[in-house]
Structure 1
Amino acid sequence: MESFESDSPQEQRFVRLFAQTQRALHAYIVALVYDPNVAADLLQETNIVLWRRFADYEEGMSFLAWARGIARRTVLNYRRSSARQIATLDPQLLEELATRLSNIAEEPISRLEVLNECLRKLKDTDRQLIMARYEPGNSVNSMADKLSRPVNSVSQSLSRIRRVLADCMERNVQAAQRCAD
């Protein structure tokens, strides 16, 4: 097995920056595609591009911000080429989401990771309902029509799901902070 010490300084620098950002980069991609399996594939594609284009990375700039830019383009390319994707976001909305996520300060406990974990814990029907609510063009009224349910019923279900998510996030953030202390 090859020794890490024999790697070039550039390779060592890449590996260090790469290792520090993988979890945050994965959470970022999951937030854009909502499917952990697709996100894992897109993360691998992003990692390949990161390695190939590492010479373009400028010392002093945020490696995570640079990596997120590459990940965003990887996700956009995936969305363009994937006609089978059921729930796609408008490219302009995706761009805005990517920009907002890129501006989130790095926290020891990523709220985005916590949210994704809490979303995974929801019942499938609840997760589908809350995800559908935030698709472009969807409103509570249009969802009620599609589901053949009263508007008030859909609204109450969404409120209940949001409370469950908020409680889950609060518990997980507090637990992670206790472990970090």
Structure 2
Amino acid sequence: MLMVYLRSLVRDEAAIDDLFQESMIVAWRRLDECDPERPFGPWLRGIASKLVMAHYRKQKQVPVALHEAVLSVVDRHFENIGLLAGDTWDEKVTALRECVEALPDHHRNVISGRYFDGLQTQILAEQLDLTLEACKKRLQRGRALLAECLRKKGALSAAEVTS
């Protein structure tokens, strides 16, 4: 759902990917600020919307679609979608935990190092005694395996897997 949200606000595919990853990293670092009694989606979209605004400020252009009233309407639509099964905090975390644990060791090591430990890819490659390109390829394949696992568990749509 986060990719869909970002696609509704940004047209540049590379920027969408960057904003998605940055949103996930910020969310991971601020996980202790998230109230597990409240839906996860609105909290994560709040982080993403701030990053989108910063992205456009850097470019010195803010599209009309990012006016606060428009963002509010878009967020309400996503809240309604978020009420469907699969959007609770526990469901998302459980699915992600199970999928990470199911990864082969060589993929789990790079995913954990990059996203859970916050290591830069170059440093991770050095620690795992890999070339930078081999490390990037493992990350790419590990993310694809995670996405497929999350899709099978109903925690990620097929459209999000292919994006």
TM bucket (normalised to shorter chain) is 0.3 to 0.5
- State TM-score, norm by structure 2: 0.44
Of the two, which has the highest radius of gyration?
1
Q: RCO greater where, 1 or 2, for CA within 8 Å and sep 6 or more?
A: 2
